[in-house]
Structure 1
Amino acid sequence: MKNKNFTSKEMMVVSASRFLKDDDIVFIGIGLPSLAANLAKRVQAPNISMIYESGTLDTKPERLPLSIGDDELSKKALAVISVPEVFNYYLQGGKIEIGFLGAAQVDKFGNINTTIIGKDYKNPKVRLPGAGGAPEIAAFCKDTLIMLRQTKRNFVNKLDFITSVGFADGNNSRDKLNFISNGPKAIITDLGILEPCKVTQEFILTHIHEGVSIQEVKDATGWPLKISENIKTTSSPSLKELEILRKLEATQN
C-alpha cells in the first residue's frame, strides 16, 4: 500500500535504505546514513551488521544515536573496539561491503569534496569539516553510496578539492589507484538516483522520484546530465517505511 504524503527527504532516505540487503556489513556515520541503515534493519534487512565510526561492531540501537559517541551504540553491540582497529583491520582489510558517504560537492564521476569551497586551499571561501574517514571508506568498502541534496551548488562540473576519490577521471582511471573496492554504486538525492555508466563511469540519471521532472533534475546539476534510456520512477515509500522512519526520527526529539 502506497502513501503520497511524504517529503523529499523521506524519499531520499527510503531510496537509500532499499540498497541495503540482508546480511550486508555497513559502515555508517551519523545523520542521513544512520537513518537509512536503521530503517533498512527494521524493514527488509534485519540481519545487516552496522558498524559505526566509533568502533561499535554489529550494533543494534533501539533509537537513533545522537553522535558516534552515543552510549546507545555500545549497549547492544557485539563488540566495541578502537577506531584504529576498525579502520586498519575491518575497513582496509576489505571486510565491509557498503559504506555511506555525504558530500558538500560531488562531480559527474562520483568524486567528493568535504574539505573547502573555493580554489585557494589556504584562504578558502568556506572551510568544511574535512575528510574524516571518507577517503578510506571510498577506497576500501566494496561499494559506496553517496547521499546529498541535489543542487547546482552541490553537483558541480569541477570540484574545488577532491577529498575522496570516486571514479577519478572516469574511463577506468580509478583502476590505476589500485583500490580494492568497486567505487560508488549510486548517488541518492532528493530528486532521483544516479548510477555510473559501465563504460565511462560517468553518473547518469536512472531513477526519478515521483512528482519530479527530468528538467528539474537537469536544472539542479552543474554538468550536462545524461539520462538513462530506461529511466524509471522510484517506488514511493510504503506506509510501513514511512511509519518506521518517522518513529525513528521521533526518538531524537
Structure 2
Amino acid sequence: MSFSKDEIMTVATSRYIADGDTVFIGTGLPMVAAYLAKATHAPNVALMFESGVLDPRPRSIAKAVGDPRLVSTARRVSGMMDSLLMLQGGRVDLGVLGCAQVDRFGNINTTAIGSYERPSTRLPGSGGANDIASCAKHHLIVTRHNRRTFVESVDYLTTPGHLTGPGARQRAGLPGGGPIGVVTDLGVFGFDARTCEMVVESVHPGVSLDDVRAATAFELAVKPDLSETKPPSDSELDILRTRIDPEGVYL
C-alpha cells in the first residue's frame, strides 16, 4: 500500500511513544501519531494537552488542544496551570514539538525570523514549548525538512535543545533530558551521545542521503549503519485513514 509523506512522518513519530508513557502533545501530526500509538503498540499511554486535558480517548480527531471532543472521554480536565505543574514536576516522559527553525543541537526557534526587534516574519512564540523542552524527560521534534528550517544557528532561541553541546543543559540548570530525535518528511534523526549534534539515522523510502544534505544548511553527521526508515504497515495506514483521520484534517 502506498503512503504519503505525512503518513510516514506520523508513523515514525508514533514509534517514539512507549506504552505507559505520559506524553505532552499538541495538534497536528503529533496528535495523530499519539492516537496511532494508543491504537497499536502503546494502549496505556496517557496523552496530555496544554489546556489541562489528561488521557482522553476521543472518538474523532480534535482540531485544537482545547477542542471539547477531548473533554468528554478524558480522565481529568483541569487547566493550563495544572498541566504545566505536572510537566515541571517531572511527570512527563515525552513531549512532541514542531518548529520554524532548528539547528544541529536541536535548539528551536518559533519566535521570529530575522532580528527580534525588526523580524521579516513574526512567529507565534513559545506557548508551552519551552516548558516542555526544559522539563520533560525527553522531547521529540517533528517538522518539514528544508534549508529554511534546518539552519546553522537559529535566529532566536525560543526552546532549548542541547544548547551549545555536551553539558550545556546541565550548566543552564535544565532538569529535562533534551531532544532525543527529529522526524521529518525526509528521514529520522538522533543526537550523538558524545557531541550532542544531530545524526542521520534513517532516510525514508525514495529519499537519498544527498537529498537530506541538500535540504540542510549545516553539515550532518551520519550513523555508520544508516538504514531506510521502516515504512508504515497496511494495518497502520488503515487505522490512520479509516479511524483516526478519515477526513484528512491533518494527513
TM-score by structure 1 length?
Answer: 0.96
- Does residue 1:109 correspond to 2:105, yes or no? yes
- Does residue 1:55 correspond to 2:35, yes or no? no
Q: 2:42 aligns with which of 40, 45, 56?
A: 45
Q: 2:87 aligns with which of 88, 91, 101?
A: 91
Kindly indicate whether the alpha-carbon contact (under 8 Å) linking 2:6 and 2:29 is maintained by their aligned counterparts in 1.
Answer: no
Amino acid corresponding to residue 137 of structure 2 in structure 1 = K
After superposition, give the CA deviation of every residue in 1:110-146 in whole Å (9 maximum; x if it has no partner).
Answer: 000000001x212100001111000000011111010
Amino acid corresponding to residue 22 of structure 2 in structure 1 = I
Kindly indicate whether the alpha-carbon contact (under 8 Å) linking 2:140 and 2:179 is maintained by their aligned counterparts in 1.
Answer: yes
- CA positional deviation for 1:230: 1.3
- CA positional deviation for 1:251: 4.6
Distance 1:72 1:251 in 2: 16
Q: Secondary structure at the match of 1:62?
A: coil
Amino acid corresponding to residue 101 of structure 1 in structure 2 = L
After superposition, give the CA deviation of every residue in 1:41-93 in whole Å (9 maximum; x if it has no partner).
Answer: 111111100011110111111111011121111101011011111102x1000
Aligned ranges 1:1-253 → 2 under 5 Å: 3=1, 5-88=2-85, 90-118=86-114, 120-247=115-242, 248-251=244-247
Kindly indicate whether the alpha-carbon contact (under 8 Å) linking 2:49 and 2:83 is maintained by their aligned counterparts in 1.
Answer: no
Kindly indicate whether the alpha-carbon contact (under 8 Å) linking 1:64 and 1:251 is maintained by their aligned counterparts in 2.
Answer: no
Distance 2:138 2:177 in 1: 6
Runs (5+) with no aligned partner, structure 2: none
Amino acid corresponding to residue 218 of structure 1 in structure 2 = R
Distance 2:210 2:29 in 1: 26
Amino acid corresponding to residue 148 of structure 1 in structure 2 = T
Q: Secondary structure at the match of 1:185?
A: strand
Runs (5+) with no aligned partner, structure 1: none
- CA positional deviation for 1:28: 0.6
- Identity of aligned pairs, percent? 41
Moved over 2 A (4+): none
Amino acid corresponding to residue 225 of structure 1 in structure 2 = L
Aligned residues: 248
Pairwise CA RMSD of aligned residues? 1.0
Kindly indicate whether the alpha-carbon contact (under 8 Å) linking 1:63 and 1:251 is maintained by their aligned counterparts in 2.
Answer: no
After superposition, give the CA deviation of every residue in 1:212-251 in whole Å (9 maximum; x if it has no partner).
Answer: 1000000010101111111111111000111111222225
Q: Secondary structure at the match of 1:38?
A: helix
Bigger shift: 175-184 or 214-223?
A: 175-184
Kindly indicate whether the alpha-carbon contact (under 8 Å) linking 1:149 and 1:189 is maintained by their aligned counterparts in 2.
Answer: yes
- CA positional deviation for 1:171: 2.1
Amino acid corresponding to residue 105 of structure 1 in structure 2 = Q
Distance 1:158 1:51 in 2: 31
After superposition, give the CA deviation of every residue in 1:138-188 in whole Å (9 maximum; x if it has no partner).
Answer: 011111010001100100001100100000011221111121111001000
